[in-house]
């Protein structure tokens, strides 16, 4: 049972860009209402995907370099990475099932 990962400027390259599995990154901030709604969904998704994919969150306030690199304008922003590239992007609260479907298609 996988838990969600806390992505940071320091581990982003290793955990996300160099991952051999698809990775879902939830770009969020503690003050963002919709991000709070997305939190439990991301947690549930991490458990549901297990070892098939990595699922985690990146706090944009604490990791501005990565947030800037991926031009995060509004949050929550969810991006799915595969092979070091963004392959899918979503903005706003998403349903767990649709995110799971996207990740399974890439796993």
Active site residue 98: no
Catalytic one of 5, 35, 38, 48: 35
CA–CA gap between residue 16 and residue 32 (Å, rounded):
23
Q: What is the pLDDT of residues 60-104, one digit of tens each?
A: 999 999 999 999 999 999 999 999 999 999 999 999 999 999 999
- Whether 35 is catalytic is yes
Q: Please say if the pLDDT value at position 7 is more than 90.
A: yes
Range of the domain at 37: 5-106
Neighbours of 95 (CB within 10 A): 9
Number of domains in the chain: 1
Yes or no: say if 25 and 74 are a contact pair by the CB < 8 Å rule: no
3-state secondary structure at position 61: coil
What pLDDT is attached to residue 2?
Answer: 64
50 vs 27: CA distance, rounded Å: 20
- Pick the catalytic residue from 29, 32, 91, 106: 32
Q: What is the CATH number for 48?
A: 3.40.30.10
pTM: 0.96
Query: Locate tokens 């400027």: which residue?
Result: 9
CA distance 90 to 20: 22
Does position 1 have pLDDT exceeding 90, yes or no? no
């Amino acid at each position: 049972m996988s838990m969600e990962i806390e992505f940071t400027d320091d581990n982003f390259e290793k955990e996300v860009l160099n991952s051999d599995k698809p990775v879902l990154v939830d770009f969020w901030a503690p003050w963002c209402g919709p991000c709070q709604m997305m939190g439990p969904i991301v947690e549930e998704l991490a458990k549901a995907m297990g070892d098939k994919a990595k699922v985690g969150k990146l706090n944009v306030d604490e990791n501005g370099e990565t947030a800037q690199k991926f031009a995060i304008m509004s949050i929550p922003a969810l991006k799915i990475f595969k092979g070091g590239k963004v392959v899918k992007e979503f903005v706003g609260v998403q349903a767990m099932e649709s995110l799971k479907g996207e990740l399974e298609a890439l796993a």
